[in-house]
């Protein structure tokens, strides 16, 4: 009788759909192709300037950023993702930027033993802040760092490198701002004068400025509060406190930029967000992205290597925000090609699959991008539906492995784009010989 009783066993609860962390975004096709395109441009350009790739861990000791970036910076005070390692109690942090990690790696592995290094990196960074356009909790940076060279020509080289990248990407609404933060003794003299000035106008300072008045007054100059702009504009300028050597360094940078036709403006309020900078600082800014207008920034940090435990050595670098640059490319850069295969294989019957897949492997080995139609179970679908998918894929050609052609040892090659409808046949056994005719002109030039 039991088989006639209703099933009253509890049904498993439906699993709740999990979603990603707010401000940490998936990069999906076809957008991922844009990232690959940008990364390829960067790799090519870095190679021209003889920069070599470095890859550092995403997790670093918290002390590295506290010591390197500055204990009273916004990043350290408010934005870092820090936690305690449950295994050994070590304080760790998801990297909020990469310069400190690069310096740590250079020191740890004694990379300057044989001389200075030119390095670049790409990867994700993490800051706990309110997500908005161009500003995310997981964001990505591309950076260039030169360590072991003190000359102004290296500062200028890095700026020229970034300027060349904007040209490669077809960007035009990008302006360069420069400043010099001088050396520590010069900043101390300016700091005293700045505190005195701000104290005289304490009634106009907001709560954040009052909090920073004695801990980090230089950062007050970077305020976005319009009510404080008059106080900031009338504040003592750090440039007026620079000594002869610091001014000579700054002028040398400008002379090289002038000789190369790079336009810039001097912004005496430009201070950057980390405490490790000295001498040259700079930012590339656009008006196309609203409040998130800085797409690249950097400067010289001659004391950071010593701060993280290395022998004193000079250094300079910059980092750009990948998401912001990609947004800018959408607005004003060159049109990016949509990813598409060279060929789409149409297979009417499953019996043709072994031969079809063998031919595709030969073509791929010759550099042809090939997508094969995938069916459902024992059915590959109708020819009409396969051709429809071939066209939607963006492929330039369809390879038709029809029974009649295959019986003669042939495959039909049908054009789907230029001269659409034109068709020819090729030998199944000599695919390597006619593979070149399927490649896009760009691929053919690259492979040759």
Task: Report the number of secondary-structure helices (H) and strands (E) in the chain.
Answer: 16, 16
* Residue listed under structure tokens 């295959």: 406
Round to whole Å and give the CA distance between 101 and 56.
Answer: 6
pLDDT tens across 328-341, in order? Answer: 998 876 667 678 89
The candidate with the shortest Cα–Cα distance to 296, out of 144, 155, 121, 147, is 144
The pTM assigned to this predicted structure is 0.85
DSSP conformational letter for 263 = -
Is the sign of the CA dihedral 380, 381, 382, 387 positive or negative? negative
Q: Compute φ and ψ for 84, nearest 5 degrees.
A: -100, 130
Q: 30: cis peptide before it, omega within 30°?
A: yes
Among the listed residues 340, 394, 324, the one whose alpha carbon sits nearest the alpha carbon of residue 169: 324
pLDDT digits (tens, 9 = 90+) for 336-389: 767 889 999 999 988 999 999 999 999 999 999 999 988 766 677 888 999 999
> Backbone phi, then psi, for 59, in 5-degree steps?
-105, 130
pLDDT in tens, 128-150: 877 777 678 999 999 999 999 99
Architecture of domain 343-447: 3-Layer(aba) Sandwich (3.40)
| CB neighbour class for 196 (10 Å; exposed up to 12, middle 13-18, buried from 19) | exposed
Interval 204-222: pLDDT, tens? 888 888 888 887 788 788 7
Task: For strands 370-372 and 410-415, give the pairing.
Answer: unpaired
Question: What tokens does 39 get?
Answer: 């990364």
Average pLDDT over residues 38-66: 96
Q: What is d(CA 159, CA 318) in angstroms, rounded to the nearest whole number?
A: 8
14-40 pLDDT, tens digit each: 888 989 989 999 999 888 989 999 999
Domain boundaries, the chain: 31-182+242-332, 343-447
Question: In this model, does residue 10 exceed pLDDT 90?
Answer: no
448: confidence class by pLDDT, cuts 50, 70, 90: very low
* 229 pLDDT tier (thresholds 50, 70, 90): confident
Fold annotation for 31-182+242-332? BirA Bifunctional Protein; domain 2 (3.30.930)
- As given in the structure block, the two tokens for residue 347 are 């297979």
Closest CA to 330 of 305, 295, 278, 368: 295
């Amino acid at each position: 009788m039991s088989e006639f009783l209703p099933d009253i066993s509890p049904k498993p609860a439906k699993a709740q759909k999990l979603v990603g962390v707010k401000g940490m975004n998936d990069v999906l096709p076809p957008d991922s192709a844009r990232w690959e395109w940008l990364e390829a441009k960067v790799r090519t350009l870095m190679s021209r300037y003889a920069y070599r790739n470095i890859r550092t861990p995403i997790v670093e000791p918290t002390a590295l950023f506290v010591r390197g970036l500055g204990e009273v910076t916004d990043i350290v005070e408010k934005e870092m993702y820090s936690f305690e390692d449950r295994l050994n109690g070590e304080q760790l942090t998801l990297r909020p930027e990469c310069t400190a990690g690069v310096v740590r790696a250079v020191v740890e592995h004694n990379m300057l033993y044989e001389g200075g290094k030119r390095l670049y990196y790409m990867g994700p960074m993490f800051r706990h802040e309110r997500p908005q356009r161009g500003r995310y909790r997981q964001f990505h940076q591309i950076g260039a760092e030169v360590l072991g060279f003190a000359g102004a020509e290296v500062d200028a080289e890095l700026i020229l490198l970034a300027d060349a990248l904007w040209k490669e990407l077809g960007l035009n609404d990008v302006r360069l701002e420069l400043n010099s933060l001088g050396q520590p003794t010069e900043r101390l003299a300016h700091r005293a004068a700045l505190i005195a000035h701000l104290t005289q106008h304490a009634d106009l300072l907001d709560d954040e400025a009052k909090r920073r008045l004695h801990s980090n007054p230089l950062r007050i100059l970077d305020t976005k509060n319009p009510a404080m702009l008059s106080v900031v504009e009338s504040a003592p300028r750090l440039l007026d406190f620079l000594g002869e050597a610091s001014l000579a360094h700054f002028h040398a940078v400008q002379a090289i930029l002038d000789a190369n036709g790079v336009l810039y403006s001097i912004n005496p309020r430009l201070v950057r967000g980390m405490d490790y900078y000295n001498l040259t600082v700079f930012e590339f800014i656009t008006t196309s992205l609203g409040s998130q207008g800085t797409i690249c920034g950097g400067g010289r940090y001659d004391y950071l290597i010593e701060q993280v435990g290395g022998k004193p050595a000079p250094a300079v670098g910059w980092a750009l925000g990948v998401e912001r640059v990609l947004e800018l490319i959408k607005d004003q850069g060159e049109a990016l090609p949509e990813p598409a295969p060279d060929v789409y294989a149409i297979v009417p019957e499953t019996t043709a699959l072994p031969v079809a897949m063998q031919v595709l492997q030969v073509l791929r080995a010759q550099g042809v991008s090939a997508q094969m139609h995938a069916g459902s179970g024992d059915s590959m679908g109708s020819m009409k539906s396969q051709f429809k998918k071939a066209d939607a894929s963006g492929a330039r050609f369809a390879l038709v492995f029809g029974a009649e052609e295959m019986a003669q040892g042939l495959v039909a090659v049908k054009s789907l784009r230029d001269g659409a409808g034109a068709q020819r046949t090729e030998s199944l056994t000599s695919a390597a010989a006619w593979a070149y005719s399927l490649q896009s002109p760009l691929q053919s030039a690259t492979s040759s």
